Amino acid sequence: MLSCDPTATTCGRVCCRWSAAATVSRSARHAAEAQRLLELLGEADAARASCGAMLSARLLRRLPPERRRNALRFWISTTGALAPPATRLEEIAGSVLDAREDAQPLVAWNGAVVQRQGDLLSLRVSSTAQGAAVRPLRTGRGAAPSAARSTDWNWSWRAKRTRVLPAPFGTLTLRNDLHGPLDLDALGPRLVLRGRRGGERLCPVRGGPRRSLKQLLQEAGVPVERRAQLPLLFDRGRLIGVADLWLDASVQANRTSGRRARLIWRAA
């Protein structure tokens, strides 16, 4: 602990106070630098495990426990959700990632839910998130699913960031997000939305192969009733998004992306 000699000169007392202030400033700078390094590491680890807006449990399990928690903390923070308590974060990083692929475990806190379906972790934020996660899905009673699936809907997203679709497809919103997974500059001015017709393919991992949507849904353990509700996004004839579950590599953001966003889907 620094102290001053009461008999010291004025110059000595000033130097003593300056030294103490410099020490505090240096400590604060080091703490800020350490925090920034943790954020950069979390961003890199989350990016390597990302599959569109979701994270791969298999890839996260390859990380040491402390980096696993750090990556999850960064991923959660980019959605605008409140940080989970330490016990909840430990549960996600531990038992949720280690659970069987058919278990579909979830962890809820303060209006947010992280749920694992197959290999993938998804996060939803809402004031009634926990109820939404466990409530049976509606099937669009009164609608004509076959007719809806055969219909295309245009979305001029630059003019209107939210697109409400007929049941059972819900609502899509493009929200600006500095850490969002979607590169807005990679999109054309008009998107086409529709339901599944079979045979759709996209590349969910940068540098990876194009995958059939049917296979992705099966591997992720998405319930059959939910699959019929998922709106598909096409840009100039190419499938670029599946609700808020997967984005094609062609529109995924990277470090050089100037305008980033997050696609949010609300089921009907």
pLDDT of residue 23: 65
The three-state secondary structure class of 78 is coil
**pLDDT single digits (tens) 186-196:** 999 999 999 99
pLDDT of residue 6: 52
Looking at residue 237, the DSSP 8-state letter turns out to be T
**pLDDT single digits (tens) 36-85:** 788 889 889 988 888 878 898 999 999 999 999 999 999 998 877 888 88
pLDDT at 217 over 70: yes
- What does pTM read for this prediction? 0.53
Range from 96-100, 128-132, 165-169, 226-230 carrying the lowest mean pLDDT: 128-132
pLDDT of residue 12: 61
Helices (H), 78-154: 86-91, 97-98, 129-134, 145-149
Spell out the residues 6+ positions from residue 160 whose beta carbon is closer than 8 angstroms to its own.
none
Q: Which residue has the higher pLDDT, 147 or 259?
A: 259
Q: Which residue has the higher pLDDT, 88 or 35?
A: 88
Q: Which of 262, 247, 150, 252 is nearest to 202 (CA)?
A: 247
pLDDT at 229 over 80: yes
Q: List the structure tokens of 50.
A: 């990302």
pLDDT at 7 over 60: no
The three-state secondary structure class of 169 is coil
Between CA 23 and CA 37 the distance in angstroms is: 21
Residue labelled with tokens 């800020």? 32
Q: Which segment, 28-42, 127-141, 161-175, 207-221, is predicted with the most confidence on average?
A: 161-175
Q: Which residue has the higher pLDDT, 64 or 149?
A: 64
pLDDT of residue 161: 95
pLDDT at 139 over 50: no
Looking at residue 177, the DSSP 8-state letter turns out to be -
pLDDT at 132 over 60: no
Q: Stretch 11-28: mean pLDDT, rounded? A: 60
Q: Which residue has the higher pLDDT, 23 or 118?
A: 118
Set out the domains of the chain in order of their start, with CATH numbers: 46-133 (1.20.59.20), 145-266 (no CATH)
The three-state secondary structure class of 113 is strand
What pLDDT band is residue 213 in, cutting at 50, 70 and 90? Answer: very high
Using DSSP bridges, classify how beta strands 153-155 and 201-202 pair: parallel, antiparallel or unpaired: unpaired
For the chain, give the longest Cα–Cα distance: 92
- E strands present in 97-160: 106-109, 112-117, 120-125, 153-155
Looking at residue 15, the DSSP 8-state letter turns out to be H
pLDDT of residue 185: 95
